[in-house]
């Protein structure tokens, strides 16, 4: 494939029916790729076995099809050459990346319980996020990884320095991982893979070069670029998008039934819903009903409002 081909992806977690905000993200990513003749991948991020369900993944595919957002690779049937496309089937791929990270000498075992972490976290975070205090960090790093005899989480050391990147919508950003999250988990003690590792490994293995997703993940770019550099992977263009919120200003959640695709499909045709979403996206000022294909030529990243949240007024 031509190395200039844009390869984007939509990477939903199948933990519930999509809501208007998930669709807003999917639509922007699909339009961005289609407007430049690129490829779009559907990856199923089902790392959390307790919350992920195959039926939800099926409904995500069904909703995308109803909207006319076709994908070139991926999905439950593993269409394409870079599969499997469900994270729950990619264990060996994550393991080999983790082993490469062991070679950096920056990974160490951690046996802190959740209670230990809460008790020792930096006291000043008001947003509920936990900063790991480094309780299990060895006194000297790098140091070789030793196979563990009892279950332990694996954490990676982060330096106290700013990581810079430019977001396609929000512009220049900087993140200091030591202040943002501290040394972070790559694999939990129960063997579950951390999102940050899986997403970096998958985006690279699938040739993704454009990530568009909700701005709740903006600061994750710091962790992701850090891992990508350690693994010698190519950079990715990141564009984060405003989150849709209800008229009370709360960001949409999968449990809000008014904005769930189940309700939206009863109330609107696909063309009407795409009309509303593309109006919020700034590319279809009067919100005229239209198909996904008709929106391709209207798509313009510069028109998407670089706000933190956008109120989705159409469904209340």
Q: Closest separation between CB of residue 9 and ligand GLU, Å? A: 7
Q: Tell me which residues in 134-173 interact with ligand GLU (CB under 6 A).
A: none
Work out the end-to-end distance of the chain between its first and last CA atoms, rounded to an integer number of angstroms: 45
d(CA 300, CA 304): 7
Q: 79 φ, ψ to 5°?
A: -75, 125
The two tokens of residue 148 are 């563990």
d(CA 300, CA 293): 14
Positive or negative, the CA dihedral 278, 314, 251, 50 is negative
The answer to whether the beta carbons of residues 234 and 163 sit under 8 Å apart is no
Q: Is residue 7 within the footprint of ligand GLU (CB under 6 A)?
A: no
Q: Closest separation between CB of residue 76 and ligand GLU, Å? A: 15
Give the one residue of 8, 13, 210, 238 binding ligand GLU; rule: CB under 6 A.
13
Q: Tell me which residues in 75-104 interact with ligand GLU (CB under 6 A).
A: none
Q: Is residue 240 within the footprint of ligand GLU (CB under 6 A)?
A: no
Stretch in the footprint of ligand GLU (CB under 6 A) among 8-16, 245-253, 274-282, 285-293: 8-16
Q: Closest separation between CB of residue 8 and ligand GLU, Å? A: 10
The answer to whether the beta carbons of residues 113 and 169 sit under 8 Å apart is no
Q: Closest separation between CB of residue 13 and ligand GLU, Å? A: 4
Q: Is residue 242 within the footprint of ligand GLU (CB under 6 A)?
A: no
x/- map, 34-63, ligand GLU, by CB under 6 A: -----------x------------------
Give the one residue of 217, 230, 231, 290 binding ligand GLU; rule: CB under 6 A.
217
Q: Closest separation between CB of residue 11 and ligand GLU, Å? A: 4
d(CA 230, CA 236): 14
Stretch in the footprint of ligand GLU (CB under 6 A) among 10-18, 62-70, 120-128, 132-140: 10-18
**How many degrees, rounded to 5, is the angle at CA 303 between CA 257 and CA 252?**
15
Nearest C-alpha neighbor of 160 from the set 177, 143, 175:
177
The residues binding ligand GLU (CB under 6 A) are 11-13, 45, 199, 213, 217
């Amino acid at each position: 494939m031509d190395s200039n081909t844009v390869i984007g992806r939509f990477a939903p977690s199948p933990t519930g029916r999509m809501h208007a905000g998930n669709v807003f993200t999917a639509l922007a990513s699909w339009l961005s790729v289609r407007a430049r003749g690129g490829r779009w991948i559907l990856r199923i991020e089902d790392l959390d076995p307790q919350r992920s369900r195959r039926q939800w993944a099926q409904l995500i595919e069904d909703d995308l099809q109803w909207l006319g957002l076709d994908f070139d690779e991926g999905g439950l049937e593993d269409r394409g050459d870079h599969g499997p496309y469900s994270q729950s089937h990619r264990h060996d791929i994550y393991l080999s990346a983790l082993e490469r990270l062991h070679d950096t000498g920056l990974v160490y075992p951690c046996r802190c319980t959740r209670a230990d972490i809460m008790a020792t976290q930096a006291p000043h975070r008001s947003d509920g996020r936990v900063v790991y205090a480094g309780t299990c960090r060895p006194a000297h790093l790098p140091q070789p990884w030793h196979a563990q005899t009892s279950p332990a989480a694996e954490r990676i050391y982060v330096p106290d320095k700013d990581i810079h990147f430019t977001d396609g919508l929000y512009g220049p950003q900087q993140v200091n991982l030591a202040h943002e999250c501290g040394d972070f988990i790559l694999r939990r003690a129960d063997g579950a893979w951390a999102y940050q590792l899986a997403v970096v490994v998958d985006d690279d293995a699938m040739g993704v070069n454009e990530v568009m997703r909700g701005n709740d993940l903006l600061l994750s770019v710091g962790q992701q670029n850090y891992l990508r550099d350690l693994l010698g992977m190519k950079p990715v263009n990141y564009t984060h998008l405003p989150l849709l919120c209800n008229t009370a200003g709360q960001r949409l959640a999968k449990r809000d039934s008014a904005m769930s695709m189940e309700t939206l499909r009863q109330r609107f045709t696909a063309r009407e819903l795409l009309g509303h979403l593309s109006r919020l996206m700034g590319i279809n000022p009067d919100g005229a009903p239209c198909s996904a294909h008709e929106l391709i030529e209207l798509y313009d990243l510069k028109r998407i409002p670089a706000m933190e949240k956008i109120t989705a007024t159409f469904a209340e």
